[in-house]
Amino acid sequence: MWDSGEGFFGSYYIYWISVLLFIGYGASLITLYLAGIILARRSIKRTKQRSIFLRTEDVVSATDIPSVTIIAPAYNEGLTIIENVKSLLSIQYPYYELILVNDGSKDDSLKKLIKEFDLERQDATFITQPIPTASVKYIYRSRQTKYTHLTVIDKNNGGKADAINAGVNFANTELVIFTDVDCIIEQDAILKMVRPYLEEDDKEIIGCGGGIGIANNSIIKDGILSELRLPSRLIPMHQVVEYIRAFLLGRMAWSEINGLMLISGAFGMYPRKRVIEVGGFNPKTVGEDLELCIRLRMHMEEKKIPYKVVYLPETLCWTEAPSDYNILIRQRDRWARGLWETISLHKKLFLNPKYGKMGLLYYPYWLIFEFGAPVVEFLGIICMIAFGIFGWIDWPFAILLFFAAYLVGCVFSTIAIFMYVKSFDHYTKPKQVVELLLAAYLEPFLYHPFLLFGQIKGYYKKLFDITSGWGNMTRKGFKVVKK
């Protein structure tokens, strides 16, 4: 295998040092995942116990519950915008407004909205703008009393973050929810989301996230998810497993120790006052949800105000996942660029005791394991190819290591699936459980390589300063059943 003593010792040490580094990194991840399972289980149990004492029926009957505005940006959503808005208007909550922000759409979105909801154009010059945005052209409100809680803002295009900021400027409620216009939100979602704000006394809730589910191939009727089905295609099926694992184990665990650094942009609730204080979403990053959450946490640390960022394990929002590899890669490319931008913007957090646990623990985790994992994995592939060419690899050991890593991944996915099935009633049929497990066991071969490719592609763009925006996230739309 080695031609000389010098070559033997040189290659021997290079090979084993590399192997030990990769094994050490993997072992650290496994340890963190095990801790995550324990924390997530405890958090789920605690959340269920709290829901017994403060039920959604109690929230509805309360007279001091906070007012809420749902803000949904829209760009060229004409294909599904009417059904999506009807869905958002049908949510059960006594005091909520819906602001839909038409961010300079070039399709017929606005015309459809005007016709369907009988909208009347109004002057927009009265809007104060504590957060600078692209110019707002007009405000539209319905002439029909059943749509009085709907407002449509028509503005020049400025991107998703800019559109949300325009909605924040116009809102006048205590809390704001940011969502995507193509999401289907559970009818009692707001009732559940405000519960932590009513329960907490000693710490201010600066952010609350809810579970996101995949609804490809599910049935939508009257704007409501009437029948949840597993996706018929393998790519979104893999994403169901990925979302269960990430949301149930990852975010529940971080929420338990108040270490949550991300609330999904698809469904998150914040105090409007705090969002304005930090200047709203940053339109210069494509990872605006992560960046806002970190900036809010930094703001509270600097003001020395006790705070919490919480996550609810229940799936309260349903979205359509990419159903082909090209769209999936573009999505993960964007997510990777957003992570790179946010990590770079807030690098002063790294090991900075001024920001407490966020600086000493949470940010380093994101840097080393969230940002670093694709890099380490990619380097591992490069090393494996190089070592194979040089004949350095101990193949029986390498194969054993590969199967060990594969089995560990399967174990974690299996635990996540059974925890989800036990805790919630979405996928209770044996056939559905088997399909989820099968997707989990095939994920490392048929799905994960494309995720890695998308992430490395995003990093490559940032490394070489290649300009790239959101990318085209073409959706096929939900299956809608008419009355």
pLDDT for the residue 28: 96
Give the residue-averaged pLDDT of 333-342: 96
pLDDT of 468 > 80? The answer is no
pLDDT for the residue 481: 61
What is the domain partition of the chain in residue ranges? 1-468
**414-443 pLDDT tens trace:** 999 999 999 888 998 999 999 999 999 999
Give the residue-averaged pLDDT of 307-321: 91
pLDDT of 1 > 50? The answer is no
pLDDT band, very low/low/confident/very high, at 315 (cuts 50, 70, 90): confident
pLDDT of 63 > 80? The answer is no
CATH 3.90.550.10 fits 1-468, yes or no: yes
pLDDT band, very low/low/confident/very high, at 52 (cuts 50, 70, 90): low
pLDDT band, very low/low/confident/very high, at 61 (cuts 50, 70, 90): low
Give the residue-averaged pLDDT of 338-348: 97
3-state secondary structure the chain: CCCCHHHHHHHHHHHHHHHHHHHHHHHHHHHHHHHHHHHHHHHHHHHHHHHHHCCHHHHHHCCCCCCEEEEEEECCCCCCHHHHHHHHHCCCCCCEEEEEEEECCCCCHHHHHHHHHCEEEECCCCCCCCCCCCCEEEEEEECCHHHCCEEEEEECCCCHHHHHHHHHHHCCCCEEEEECCCCEECCCHHHHHCHHHHHCCCCEEEEEEEEEEECCCCEEECCEEEECCCCCCHHHHHHHHHHHHHHHHHHHHHHHCCCCCCCCCCEEEEEHHHHHHCCCCCCCCCCHHHHHHHHHHHHHHHHCCCEEEEEEEEEEEEECCCCCHHHHHHHHHHHHHHHHHHHHHCHHHCCCHHHHHHHHHHHHHHHHHHHHHHHHHHHHHHHHHHHHHHCCCCHHHHHHHHHHHHHHHHHHHHHHHHHHHHHCCCCCCHHHHHHHHHHHHHHHHHCHHHHHHHHHHHHHHHHCCCCCCCCCCCCCCCEEECC
pLDDT band, very low/low/confident/very high, at 14 (cuts 50, 70, 90): confident
pLDDT for the residue 483: 54
pLDDT of 147 > 80? The answer is yes
pLDDT for the residue 182: 84
